[in-house]
């Protein structure tokens, strides 16, 4: 079970659950790859046990939400999409 974090530009209560979203996730696994960022299509749940990966959410100024979420990585995206 890997751990990641991401930043969101809206209120945590407005995060849509169980819908595919394109975002930047940052790998928190210890080692050389720690803090490696990548674009990915993910599904998020506020239930920490629903999906296999742990996702820590940070608000726009870096404030950490105290309770982790879970996520499922649908696919990694190699290119930067327009508008991001």
Residue 84's pLDDT is what?
Answer: 63
pTM: 0.84
Task: Average the pLDDT over 69-84 and give the result.
Answer: 83
Q: How many CB atoms lie within 10 A of CB 14?
A: 7
Domain range summary for the chain, segments of one domain joined by +: 3-77
pLDDT tens digit sequence for 3-58: 999 998 888 888 888 989 999 999 998 888 788 899 999 999 999 999 999 999 99
25: burial class by Cβ within 10 Å (0-12, 13-18, 19+)? Answer: buried
């Amino acid at each position: 079970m890997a751990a990641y974090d991401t930043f969101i530009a809206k209120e945590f209560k407005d995060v849509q659950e169980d819908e595919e979203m394109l975002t930047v996730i940052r790998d928190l696994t210890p080692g050389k790859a720690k803090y490696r960022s990548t674009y990915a299509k993910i599904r998020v749940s506020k239930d920490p046990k629903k999906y296999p990966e742990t996702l820590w959410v940070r608000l726009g100024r870096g404030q950490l939400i105290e309770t982790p979420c879970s996520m499922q990585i649908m696919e990694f995206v190699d290119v930067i999409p327009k508008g991001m």
